[in-house]
Structure 1
């Protein structure tokens, strides 16, 4: 007889757990999954990088989580011998997951969920299963205490991926290389979402760098797929997933002093729904400004423009 994990909410959803070479964070996230006891657990482990000798042992230790599964569940694994990298490794893992599941929860090895995150996802995956307005359910809240409305969640245009859930119907639109889109109309279309030249410019630059292969990200293409399909994202008004992977050596989250590192988890109870199905654009813009320094760019641009006007006036005297 298998031992029963610590009591807590048990999820109805299938869970995909994407891991690599961080046994410490992987173990912590696994313990949260263990409490939720998914009946179907998918584990994808990327292979060691050739130029990093320590990866072999770290990957081996990380994969030992398989021996810790002690509840009744169907386990499917994809254990890579070679390294696929962040962009192709994670996106192909999610492809594999949604080839077998109509919907489910996705966690990476540095995304530590509260137990109520699983109930949040279960409830909303079912509620919005056939509502094509809704494309993404995220667990992290990056508003640092600011609430948007009185409900348990609000709607956004941004697809945060530190713990999330979605449906096959949405992932079918995912295009990791953005092959469907060229750059000729991107800025104009982005301005339909965020009517601000500086914000549209920031996203257009990211789009162009993705197309040029200069950004190794699977998550930004998900943002663009949501933008260009006019989708709504569910974001909880409390933080249900915290990123515990900020440290030197991480792929992207290398700044240990980041304000996004280790945001406290808050458990939630009853889930209440918003009345209006509209994105809280000011919530999005607060994060975009923080991430892309939009206001600083605006100030520099305006200062340059004032100098230019003064120079032109001096030449006209």
Structure 2
């Protein structure tokens, strides 16, 4: 099996889950990137049991035993999900032009690395494309003749991108009020149900309401306002191992129990970079429209890790 190009940098974000960290670290070890960036938030002071777990996690990721340049961003204080993740990714892209991002619960199939490498190269100079996703929650691979399709939704449980794309990101979304007032949100979402749901989500993220201490909705917003495309694989390439029976708040999670399978090579590329509107409609209904799932997903991001 062809391995990832050693020149493809990897950012690995970790926190307080040694068992998950170990499994994902072993997957990275097998890929053996020559540049590995590791970011870890600090333990929460109100949770004294967390400091030993964070220390254990940092010990695991120190076990690099292949030829590799390692850079670390280990926080002493806890920044929380929004600031820890967004600043880690900004740090990563301040050092590299493009790369792969894995969180501690995102276990990739070995072919995920080659898939990312080839697509990072293919769309490097195409500013319409901002995200290479490893997740496909719909499991509709049999319906596609190509190896991937283009979506408006940048799934981030195992993904890759470029510095030139991340420059469009801000955790605070300072231009969001103007975006809404201009009618651009309505232009992005002609369907009133989708528009209402995303207005609700983005309003709460912008205001920083309790329970919305997240970073990823802002990445979706960056795609919406730039009419950008996210690559979504034909088959799911990343398993979320945080969605286990003993994990908190995982009931109803549409990403739970999705196996990671092999990407098939050579990749078959779509003829034109055009969004698949039908699969995006299905993605909205499956991943975003259900109010119960919306609450669960928020808890997963904010309570499980930070």
Normalising by structure 1, report the TM-score. 0.85
- Residues 74 and 227 (structure 1 numbering): CA distance in 2 closer, same or farther, change over 3 Å? same
Runs of 4+ in 1 over 3 A off after TM superposition: 145-148, 247-250, 291-296
Q: 2:279 aligns with which of 280, 283, 298?
A: 283
Question: Which residue of structure 2 aligns with residue 233 of structure 1?
Answer: 230
Determine if the alignment matches structure 1 residue 77 to structure 2 residue 72.
yes
Determine if the alignment matches structure 1 residue 243 to structure 2 residue 240.
yes
Equivalences for 1:1-317 in 2 at 5 Å? 9-11=3-5, 12-147=7-142, 149-182=144-177, 185=180, 188-214=183-209, 215-246=212-243, 254-256=249-251, 258-270=253-265, 271-293=267-289
Question: Which residue of structure 1 aligns with residue 303 of structure 2?
Answer: none
CA distance in 2, matches of 1:163, 1:282: 23
Does the CA-based 8 Å contact 1:8-1:35 persist in structure 2? no
Does the CA-based 8 Å contact 2:12-2:36 persist in structure 1? yes
CA distance in 1, matches of 2:251, 2:60: 25
Does the CA-based 8 Å contact 1:153-1:274 persist in structure 2? yes
**Deviation, structure 1 residue 180:** 1.8
**Deviation, structure 1 residue 166:** 0.4
In the comparison of the two structures, how many residue pairs are matched? 288
Structure 2 residue matching 1:275: 3-state secondary structure: coil
Q: Flag structure 1 segments of 5+ consecutive residues without an equivalent.
A: 1-6, 297-317
Which of 58-67 and 84-93 deviates more? 58-67
Does the CA-based 8 Å contact 2:176-2:206 persist in structure 1? no
Structure with higher Rg: it is: 1
**Deviation, structure 1 residue 269:** 2.6
CA distance in 1, matches of 2:179, 2:155: 26
Structure 2 residue matching 1:87: 3-state secondary structure: helix
- Residues 50 and 188 (structure 1 numbering): CA distance in 2 closer, same or farther, change over 3 Å? same
Normalising by structure 2, report the TM-score. 0.88
**Deviation, structure 1 residue 223:** 0.2
CA distance in 2, matches of 1:49, 1:141: 33
Residue by residue over 1:105-150, the C-alpha shift from the partner in whole angstroms, topping out at 9 and shown as x without a partner, is 0000011101110000000101111111111100011112354531
CA distance in 1, matches of 2:203, 2:158: 27
**Deviation, structure 1 residue 56:** 0.5
**Deviation, structure 1 residue 29:** 0.5
Structure 2 residue matching 1:284: 3-state secondary structure: helix
Does the CA-based 8 Å contact 1:22-1:109 persist in structure 2? yes
Structure 2 residue matching 1:32: 3-state secondary structure: helix
Does the CA-based 8 Å contact 1:8-1:36 persist in structure 2? no
- Residues 146 and 116 (structure 1 numbering): CA distance in 2 closer, same or farther, change over 3 Å? closer
